[in-house]
Structure 1
Amino acid sequence: AKDGSMALCPNAMAIYEAHAQEFLKRALVLCHISPGPPLREPELLSVMWRNNARQRHLLIWEKLVMIYTQYHKGQQQSGAYKDNIRFLPKAIGDLLLAYTAYVLPLRQLFLRQQKSGALISPYLWAKLDGTVWADGTLSASLTKACTRAKVPRLHTSNWRQFAASITKEKFSVKERANFDLEEGIGEHIEDELDLVALAELSNHTYHTFNHAYAGTTTLTMNALLHRNYRASESWRTFFRFDHILQGKRPRGASETLSLRMLDASKRGQMRRRGAYSEADLLAVARKLYNKLDLQFRVPGQRNGVLAIMGPQPAEQVVLVIGTGSGKTLVVMIGAAVADAGTTLLILPMVALRGDMLRRFHEVGIRPLIWSVDCKRSASLVIVSAEAACTQGFLEYCHVLVSKQKLDRIVIDEGHLTITASNYRPCMAQLGWYVRQIRTQTVWLTATLPPAMQEAFIEHNKLVRPRIIRESTNRPNIKYMVSFETGPGALIERAANLVQVYWPQQEIFDHSRDKIIVYCRTREEVALLAELLQCPSYTSESGSEEEKAAILSKWIADKDQPVIVATSALGIGFDYPHVRWVVHVDAPSEATAFSQESGRAGRD
C-alpha cells in the first residue's frame, strides 16, 4: 500500500473472486439437482449461510447439510409459508462446509481491503459487493453444466417436470408420501423403529448406532425433518449420487438387483456368535498346532483374538501388529472353533494366496477358493479383492447372512484400501462393498502408521472400530542408505553391487538365500533383469497363475539368487530366506518401503 503497510494484490483478488463465483454457480446446480425434487429458483437463491435478521438456511442434521427455506410461489397471495427441506449428498455438503469455513473468511478479507468495516453478504449466492444473484442465474448455470457434460440442455422448468414424473413413476406409494409434504404420509412408523432401521442400514447394531450418533431410545424426531430426510435418501439412492460423487459406484448393477440387495440387507441379522474365553481360544490354537504349551506370540495377537471372538467382541476390528506376530492365527481360530460358521478372507495380492494355503493346510484347514459362480460355503472362504467388488459376491454374502452362517469378513493388508487406490480401483471400492454386508469386519495390517489411521477409518466408513495396535518395528532388519555419485547409472551400480557381494559365503547361504532388487518402474525392472540375467516380477507379468509360477521357479532355482521387481511383489510374498532387499532409487512412499524391505528377515 502507499502508506507502507501490507496489502493484497487487487488483480489476484479479482482472479480469486472469479473462481469463487464459478464454484458457486456449479454448486448451485448441484444443490438444485441432487437433494430431491428441485426447489424453485427464488427459494434457492434466498439461502443464507449465517444468521441475520432472519435465521440462516444451512443447517446440519444427521451429519448431512440441510437446506431449510420457508418460501414458495404462493406466499404473496396466501400469506402462508411452506417448509422446504432438502438434504444434500455428503460430498456436496462437505464442499459447502469447506467453502463457508475457508473461502468466505478470505472473501471477507478481500472486501475489508476494498471497503473498511464492510461485512460480506449473508446470502450464499451473492457477489463480493453484496449483490444477490438475479433470477435466471440458475437456468444459465444449468445450461452450462449440461454443455460441459455433453448432454441435451435442460432448463429449470424442464427439470422440475422431469423430477415430478420421476417421483410419481419410480417411487413406491410409501416413498411418494415422504416427498409430498402437504398430504398425509400414510402409514406412520414409530420414531424408535426408524432409528432401528437407520442402524441396520449402517451395518452395525442399535447400541453402536446410538453410541456413535448420540441417539437414545427416548429421542423424538420431528416428523417433518424425518420425512424429508427419508425423501432425500430415496432420491440419492435412486440416482446413486453418493456412489458417483465418491467414485465408488458399483459397476454394472441393475436397479432390480440393487433393490433386492438392499431388501436383503434390511432383513438380514448379524449372526450371534459364541463368546469364548481366552482359555477356550488358546485351546483351539494349541489343537491346531498340536502344541500343548503354545502361547500367544505378542500382546497384540492376544488382544486381537479376544476383540474378535472374546466375551465382548467388537463389530469392527482393526489389528495393527508387526510381520511375524501371528495375524493369520486370528483367521485360523475363527474357522476352527466348535460352532464356526463361515469366515470370508479377502486377499488383495496373488502372492498372498499360495503362502496362506500352505499355512492353512499345515493345520488341517481346507479353505474354499471363491469364484463368481460359486454357491458352496466352508468354514473358511478365500476371495480376491477383485472378486469381492462384484454384485455376485454381495449376493453370496447376503445368502450366508440370511441363513445365519456368516461369522465375519477379514480383509488382509487392509491399508491398501488407501495406499493402492490409485492403481488398484477395487481396493478403493472394497470398503464400500464390505459395508453392505451385516457381519463383523476385521482389518489386518502391519503397515498403518498412526498418521494414516483417521484417513483409513474415514475412507472405509468405519464407526468407532476397536483398534489394537502395537509396535511393528523389526529389530532383526538392518538398513543402509548409500548416496551414489559420479559416473554410471543407478541401475548399473545395483547390478554391480549384487555381482560383487553374492559370492561372499560369509554373508549368503547359497543353498537357500535370495535377493530382491526393487525398481520404481517396469522399464527399469526390464533393464536390470537383462543386466543380471535374472527373472523379473511386475504387475504386467501375466495372470495370477503365471505370476505364481515365476516365483516358484525362482525359489526352486539355487543357481538364480536374484529377482528384480516393482512394488507388485511388496505385499504377501513370504519366503523365509530373503537375505537382501535392494532399492534402486528412493521408494515412492514410506509405506511401500516398509512393505518391501519387510520381505527380508522372516526366518
Structure 2
Amino acid sequence: MSLMLNNLAYGLKKAMLVPGQARVFWVNAEVKTELKYEGQSITISGLRSMVRELIKEATDILWQDLLFTDDHERRFMVELKGVDDNMALGAGATSGAFLRLNEAAELTVGVKLVQDRLFENVRAREQMLNMKHVANINIGSVFKDSGLKLYAKSVEKFLDKLFVLVHFTGGAPARGTEISCTRYRDSVSVDRNLFTLNGKVVLISQYHKGMIITDRLKIIPRVLPKAVGDLVALYLRYVRPFTDSLDAIYRKDKPETDYLWENGRGDCWNNFCMTRAIEEATQKKLGVRLTVRSYRHVAVAFSRDVVHRHRPMTEQFKDFNSEDILLDETEGAGDQDPEQLVAAQQTGHGIRQRLNHYGQAANLTSRLTSNSLELFTRVSEEWHRFLGLEDDHGEKQELKPKHKKHNRQESWTNFQDGTAGVAGENLKIANVKRQRSFTNTEKEDFEILRNIAAYRPQSLEQKAHAILKNKFGHSEFKLPEQLKSIISVLDQQPLTVSILPTGGGKSLIWMLPAATDERGTR
C-alpha cells in the first residue's frame, strides 16, 4: 500500500509539471482579441454578443411562454438584497432551500402567480386549457395534452439557454459533473449548493479529483451576474412550483427531484444534455461548435491572458493548496506575512492551522473563508465585466423593450425572509399594472379554474399509497396496522405507538412521511 501511494504521489506531481497538449494560440499576441482553438476562431466580441442574445432569448421565453406575460410593462425585476441566506451547508440555521422553496406557502405563491397569468392571457388559455370541459371540474381534462407538451418543450428550451448562461458567465467554467448536479433544495442526504449573497445568486461547487485519496473537497463559489441570477430566481420561484404541480397530476410516475437541471426520470443532466445545450448555442451564435471540455480550454485562455493577468500572486488562493497534501508545496518564509506569522505564534500554532481550524465564520461554507470568498467574488465580477455584464443598471436597461410608449417605473419583487403576515404577502410587487378584465369567457368558468388546487386534493390514505408507489414502485402495504401508523404520522399526531411483528415494516413508518412534499421535522 505504501509503495502504491508513493507511486501515485509521484505520478500526480509529474502530471502537474508536464504541460498539456497545445490547443490554443492567439491570432495577434499583442492585442489578444481573437484566438484559435483547434483551427476554430473565437473572438471577445463574439462571446459578448452570444451572452447578450442568450439573456434576451431566455428572458423572452421565461415571460412569454412560461409566465404567460406578453405585456412588457407587467414584467418585474428581482431584488435579492434583503434575503438572509445562510451559506453553512447542513447547518441548522439554513432554511434548507433557495428562497425557502421547501415551504408549502412559498410554493403556493409561485403556482398562483402562474395560474393567474395563464387565466388572463387569451393566447395561453387557447393553447393550454380545455374550456369546454371546465364545468365538469375534472382536473384531468382541464389542460390540453398538446398544451402541456408545448409548455414542457418551452421549459426545456429555457433550461438549455440557462445552463449555457450559468456555465459561461459564472467565472471559470466548472466541470460538467459540478454544475449539472446543482441543487436548489436540501435532499435527504445531500445539501443544496445554490445561495444568495449580497443580492446575487451564488453557485457553490464541491469537487476534487483526488478526493478518494485525501478525503477532502474543494469548495468553489461562482457568483452569477444580476441578469442571469434573476433568471434563476424567477424560474425557481414561479415556474418550477407550477411544473411540479403539473407533474404531480399528470406524471405520477416521475420521482421528486431537487436538481435545477433535471431530466424526465428525476436525475440530473448527463454529459449528453450539457454538450447538446452548449453545442447548439455556440454553433448558432459563434459559428463554432464547442463542448463542455473544449470551452474550458477557451475560457482558461481568455482568463489567463486577458481577464485576470493583472492579479497579484498574493491573490492566487494559496490557502487552498493545503486541501491536497499530495500536491502541497512547502511554504517558504518569503510567502508568509510577518504580522500573520506573529499572530499565529501567539496562539501556539502556524498560519495554516490558524486559517483552516480557528475562527471559522459561521455563515460561510466549510473550508471557505471570508477572504477567499471575497477573492472568488472579485474573480467572477472581473469575468462579468469582460462579458459586458458589469453594470446592474446597464443590464436592466438592456432587457427593456425599445418600443415602450411610457416611461413607467418598472416593478420589482422583493424576496425577504421573516416578513410577518399571511403566506405569500411578503411578496412585494410595486407599480404593477391594473389587471385587465377577462374577455370572451364567462366569469363562472374562471371561478371554477381558480379553485383548482396546485396539487390534487388527497386523503391521507391516498397520499400514503401515492408516496409508496413513487418511492418503491408499488402501492400495497404489508399490514393494515402499518398503513394506520403511517396515516397517524402524516396527520402529525403528537404520539404514535405501533406494535408490528418482525418484518412488518416498522422502518417504513418514519421513512415514508420523510419523503413527502411537506419537508420539515416532525
Query: Could you say which structure has the larger radius of gyration?
Result: 1
Same fold? TM cut 0.5: no
TM-score by length of 1: 0.34
The higher-RCO structure (CA 8 Å, 6+ apart) is 2
TM-score by length of 2: 0.39
